[in-house]
Structure 1
Amino acid sequence: MKDRLYYQDAYQQSFTAEVTRRGVEEDGVPFVVLSQTAFYPTGGGQPSDQGTLGDIQVLDVEEVDGEIRHRLLEPMPEQVTTVVGSIDWDRRFDHMQQHAGQHILSAAFLEVAGAETVAFHLGKERVTIDVRLDELSAELWEAVERRANQVVLENRPISARFVDDEELATLPLKKQPTVTENVRVVIIPDFDYNPCGGTHPAGTGEVGMIKILGWERHRGNIRLEFICGWRALRDYSKKQATIRDVSKLLMTGEAELVAQSERLVAERDALRQALQEKERLLLEGEVRQQLEQASLLGPVRLIQRSFEGRSIQELQQFAQLTVALAPDAVCLLAATGEKLQLVFARGSDVNVPVNQLIKETLPLIAGKGGGNPAMAQGGGQPSVPADDVLAHARQLLESALATAGH
């Protein structure tokens, strides 16, 4: 493990190494293997480091068959045999904060709730752990978070070292190691003893604030989202700016935001209900006017009309109200726009299946649709004028009425 400099010093940001092998991954990305490296490879829930080897960007790092491959943006020139590596320190330290924060939070869950952590993922924006719990109350959440931050503020030392079997047997491990050789244990004295290969700061104080953001049930456990350190500060600053903007917009103080929002939601719901009632009355008035002007096909009243810019939902509402008010009515409706939309409907006194009418009409506009004998809808290309399409449907209706004996 001496070639893995990140185990010797997690704070080392640059190094010099020999290029021992070059290669190309199956996806075409070039890589190099070095005599030693400070680049942490992806593993244990922690993403890899990024940075540069000379002037070439390191995209990611992974261990394959015991060797650490540095995947590069471009191939390393053959004449280059010695390189200076520099890791992206902001990314590394962020990962150190989040990973150590996970250790502290998981240990707090075990101490406060007796709940074991069964999974961990360090994402670009958020960190998640899966905890073996059936329920998570607000009181338990707050108690665990408070205990975790207490450990942070105590600035306890964090040490990490490889141990032999004899020492391993004496440590009060929170979980058993997943490897049998080169077992490395991360230790926060009198709080957490955990087998781990990740990078960590030297003390809990460097983790910064640990903040749980939310949780959900996941595969029988509880999955929590949290952030630490600089991530937590950025998140707080962003949310504080949002609160200021919303307070200014609503012309109220921060303490009154929830109450004011509840009042606005209540007002919105009342206005929406009033608007819906007005729209219903307007639609009913429009439908009654159309029924008065409807064409007569024997005992059947026909409303044949095209609209501009109406949605198919609005056509359906118009048709539904029409046949509810007039069981002897048939609606042949169209709406023009990017597509030509059709809605056909008939009242309960009319024995004509309108889904058959629309099936025989849609080919005119290369359209698709469906429905039932009482109401059908569809749409297609506006390649034929809407009035011509409805005229075709009317001819089909007249033939169907004659056949049905209306």
Structure 2
Amino acid sequence: MAEKLYYQDQYLQTFNTELVEEKQDETGQWYAILKETAFYPEGGGQPFDTGTLNGVKVVNVVEMDGEIRHYLERPLSLSDANVEGKIDWERRFDHMQQHAAQHILSAAFDNLFRFKTVSFHLGREESTIDLDTNVLQETHIHDAEELSNRIVMENRQIETRWVTPEEAAALPLRKALSVEDNIRLVIIPDYDYNGCGGTHPATTNEVGMIKVLGIEKEKKKVRVSFAAGKRAYSHFDKKQKVLERLSPLLNAPQENMESAVLKLLQTKTQLEKELTDTKDMLIGFEARELLSKHTDTEKPLTALYTGRTIQELQRLGRAIVSEKEDSVAVLISETDGKIQIVCAKGVIAAGNIKELLSGVLPLVNGKGGGNELFAQGGGQAVISAEDLQEKVLEIWLSR
């Protein structure tokens, strides 16, 4: 196993070492084995480090089969016995901030409410912890967040310590250890004692602000999303800019935006209702107008349209047969090479509308359905709407 320099100095950004071996895995990907490394391999919820080895990009780092594999974008030169490694420091320090923030936030929920953290995920933009509780109130979040940021501002030491099982047993560990040897603890004295193999800053102040971003129920647990440090600033900055843009649009200061939005939504709902009522009124006028012009009661009332939606045709068809219960209506609309058909029949009119539609749909390679009083469908405009209208009348009269 390579010597793990990230445990000796988590701030080490460059290092020189020897190439022990370079080979391909079963998928053909090249990886390098080094005598020592500052690259952290993925584990314990913390992602792997990236960077370069002699200028070649390191795209993944895993610890397996007793070795740390540095997966490379391409193989190193055969003459590369000596290797210079460079860590992507921005990525590493971000991971250190988020991981330490998780310890602090998890300890806050545990210390205040005995809500245990059962899993942790460090994502690209935000991280999550799953708490062993099915209830998490706003006061829980507020108090845990407040305590967490107080610990940050107190600039406490974050210590790491290798201990024996007996030494670990004498400490107030937040959760049971997952290993029985090579036990490494991350400790914030008088606050949190936890087994962990990840990298963390030396002090809590370096974690920066910790902000809970949201919660969601996850089976019998609650998932808490959070961000810390630069990520928390980025979230705040984006939201602040959104608020600054919304304030003049809503004609309200930020503290009154909620009431302004609620008022806007209420107005929108009222306007939508008024619009629907107006459309219904117009549909009724249109239905009566069509009925007044339809004089041949032996034939269905038919009407052709361009660009009319199936929903509008349905409402018009229902309005027609509601207005005149012995009427039959067939409405056809052609749009962008497609044909929509709605057939409606009043409750005292003769015939079966579903059978009529079934006879029409094959003419347009269409599909549809309904019942004897109301049916709809659509297909391709392989024949014109006018020709389809004539076919409708033929089928109805020949029934």
Q: Which runs of 5+ in 2 are unaligned?
A: none
- Equivalent residue for 1:340? 339
Question: Aligned AA for 2:42?
Answer: T
Q: Deviations over 1:5-55 (max 9, x none)?
A: 111111111122333333334554332222222111111111111111222
Q: Which runs of 5+ in 1 are unaligned?
A: 401-406
CA distance in 2, matches of 1:394, 1:309: 22
CA distance in 1, matches of 2:224, 2:392: 58
Q: List aligned pairs for 1:4-403, cutoff 5 A.
A: 4-294=4-294, 296-298=296-298, 302-338=300-336, 339-400=338-399
Question: Aligned AA for 1:182?
Answer: N
Runs of 4+ in 1 over 4 A off after TM superposition: 25-28
User: More displaced, 123-132 or 21-30?
Assistant: 21-30
SS of residue paired to 1:42: coil
State the TM-score, normalized to the length of structure 1: 0.93
State the TM-score, normalized to the length of structure 2: 0.94
State whether residues 344 and 377 of structure 1, in contact with CA within 8 Å, keep that contact through their aligned partners in structure 2. yes
CA distance in 2, matches of 1:361, 1:311: 19
User: More displaced, 221-230 or 302-311?
Assistant: 302-311
Percent of paired sites with the same residue: 42
CA distance in 1, matches of 2:352, 2:256: 58
Q: Deviations over 1:273-302 (max 9, x none)?
A: 11111111111111111111225343xx62
User: More displaced, 83-92 or 21-30?
Assistant: 21-30
Between Structure 1 and Structure 2, how many residues are aligned?
A: 398
CA distance 1:169–1:375, shift in 2 (3 Å): same
CA RMSD of aligned residues (A): 1.8
CA distance in 1, matches of 2:121, 2:252: 39
CA distance in 1, matches of 2:317, 2:330: 8
CA distance in 2, matches of 1:333, 1:29: 63
Q: Deviations over 1:309-336 (max 9, x none)?
A: 1211111111122222222222222222
CA distance in 1, matches of 2:203, 2:353: 75
CA distance in 2, matches of 1:291, 1:366: 30
State whether residues 297 and 398 of structure 1, in contact with CA within 8 Å, keep that contact through their aligned partners in structure 2. no
| Distance apart, 1:155 and its partner CA | 0.9
CA distance 1:384–1:67, shift in 2 (3 Å): farther
CA distance 1:90–1:373, shift in 2 (3 Å): same
CA distance 1:72–1:391, shift in 2 (3 Å): farther
SS of residue paired to 2:357: helix
Question: Aligned AA for 1:346?
Answer: K
State whether residues 300 and 329 of structure 2, in contact with CA within 8 Å, keep that contact through their aligned partners in structure 1. yes
